[in-house]
Structure formats: C-alpha cells, structure tokens
Structure 1
Amino acid sequence: MFLNPKGRQVLVNSVVDSAISYLMAAILLPAETIESLDQKRRTFIWSGKGRTNGARCLVAWNQVCMPKEKGGLGVKDVAVQNQCLVLKLLHRLHHPANSAWAQWAREEVDLSILKGKNAVGPHWEALRSLLPLYQSITFVDVGDGRATDFWNDCWTGKVPLPACFSNLFSHAKVKEIQLLLERNEKKKKFSFKKW
C-alpha cells in the first residue's frame, strides 16, 4: 500500500503520537529519546522507509511542528507536548479532587517544594524541575497556606515575591518556606514553617 506524505502525516498524528502520550503524561522523556522519536517521525513522513536524508525532507522540522494556522503541517512537537502533560500532572497534584494518587501524594509530599520521604526518584525530579514554570503560570489561593511557597508562588499578585523584592530575597536565610495561616475568630495570624 502506498501513502503520500500527507497520509503518513495523518498516521503520525493519530497513531504514533497517541501511542507515546500515556508515557509522556507520567515522565519527562530524555532529550535523546525525543530526538530519536523526531528522527523516526520525520523519516516516516518524508520517505515512508527506515532511513531518509535531508534532501528528501521538503520542509524544516521546526516548520513541520508549527500549527497549520501559522503555516506549519500541524505535527505535534513532542518536547512541548511532554512538558505540557507533566505540567498537567503537577496541576492534578495541586487540585486533587478526582485523583487517588494526588490525594495520597498531598499527604506524603510537601507540595510547595515537592519534597518528602516518598518524593524520590526521576519522576519526582522531573516534577520538581517543572515546578518553577508551573508557579510562574499559575496563581495561588492561599487557603490555610500549607501548600503555599512563600517566596516562589504567586500569592500576592501577578509575580512571586523575589521579582518585587529581589534585595530582600537575596538576604533571606531560608529560601524554602511555607506560609501558614492560622484562623482565629477574632484575628488572622500568619506564621512560617521551615522545610
């Protein structure tokens, strides 16, 4: 059976990308793995065979991975998709309504820095590596403050405190500190807990 490049592109988008999505939702793939996947997808789209060379590739790969609305071919950028799926996992940790794993993790792990006795291994390292990005694109409802990182979460406005008070942050002895809010009928009291 013969497929033209457009038909092979449809197969890449619907079959190949779907097959790796489950894995990418759990871990950050190493750069070498992403490069290998891109090479196999590129080869399949342009030649349909096991190998191809640059002369057969009609469009640069970064252009292929752009959305159709921006002149690309709409093939997903695996690195971006992987990062987004792991960010979704981080979001699930912070909003655990329907996730048994997230509910368990909230009891075992300090959410504001993703550290704890059970937060070991490459999976947690990947989540920790994306935490600054997650904190920069989300805002925090302080609640009781147990999941609020005083310095790095955006809980006072649109940016974290070090962006507004860089001199103060540079003098802080403790950079990883949790904001706790103790509610009392008559007054609110803020306190801080060192990790």
Structure 2
Amino acid sequence: MEHYFISATAPEPAPLPSHRYTTDPGWQELWRRHAHITTPLRTRGLECDIEFGLNSHVVYVALPDDSYLIIAPPYESSAARPAGDPEGWIVTRESPDDPTVLEVVYDSTPGCDPGVPPRPEARNGGAAVPLIQAIDQRLEDLGLLPDGPPRRPPASARDQHITTPPRAAPVAVGRTQPSPPPRMAATVQPRPTR
C-alpha cells in the first residue's frame, strides 16, 4: 500500500498564468498535456507557463531570484509524440540580467553523439518524477525553492496519513497530497448536538 501524507501547512499553489492565450482552447490543451510537470512545480510556489520554444512548446518557470527554468523536449523531438510526452526532457536555468547564469539542470534526452556515453538521466526518458526531483534538488541547493510542501511530513503529521489500495494513482507528482488551506480547515467546526 502507498501512503500519502497530508500537510496542514502546505501553501496554496502558485497562480495560474494570466494572459490572453489562457482562454485559447489550443493553449488550454497544451497546459493540460503538461500538467504532470506544472502541477508539482506550482504546488512548490513556482509560477509556470507554456510558451513556444525553438521547435516545440516548453514549460517556463519563474524563479525567486528573477532567473527562470526552461523545461523542453529534445531539439530533434519526434513529431509522432504528443506535446508533454517527449522521449526525454532538458531543463536549463537562465537569467535575463546575468548572462553567466546558464546551466543544464537536468537532461534525460536520448544521446545522439556516437562514442559519447549516455548520461545517467537518459534512462529516465520522459518520466516526470525524476525530472521534478532533480529540479527540487538543484533549487534547494541554490536556496531558490520557495516554501512549499515539505520533503518529509512534520512529526505531528506523520501519524495522519491516507492509505490507498495498491496500484492507486497518486494525487500528484510529489511528496505530499495537497490539503485545504489552513484558514479553511480552521473554520470547520463540529455541529452542536440538540
């Protein structure tokens, strides 16, 4: 059985994008196809958007230091694969104000250079969980991960868990299940008995 811990201190997710394309059915479909990437990042307080990259749609993630992440499929992506389900991901961090900030955070794209050994992440392909874990780790190392769901539930919440049947789908990619905002939970009062 899998256990998903509920965090009573989890903040509300970052806001959804607000621009003229959010009402466009095509953009909404792209957002839906990338939800397995954007939802865990938004629950960590990171604002995300879908933009058109060099040859495909990419996930743009704003960071607290005004730098940003670009999460993209391989440049030579197969047209046979649907948006949001590539054979691998490449994540770069860049800054519009500091050209020295340019790093590859994660790269699970299939290697195409003969004689070059494949990167360890390549075995993960297009899987979202290792992608999110790598982003979490790098942002934590840089001190750029906003307050979000804790990596491990606090001691007071460890005994409060939800047990799901085996092979049940997780609620979201991540370590905790979203819960109602604390202000809502605090307003729930038992009904008086007559």
Same fold (TM over 0.5): no
Say which one has the larger Rg: 1
TM-score tier after normalising by the smaller chain length: under 0.3
Could you tell me the TM-score, scaled by structure 1's length?
A: 0.23
Structure scoring higher RCO (CA < 8 A, sep ≥ 6) equals 2
Task: Name the structure with the higher strand share.
Answer: 2
Could you tell me the TM-score, scaled by structure 2's length?
A: 0.23
Task: Name the structure with the higher helix share.
Answer: 1
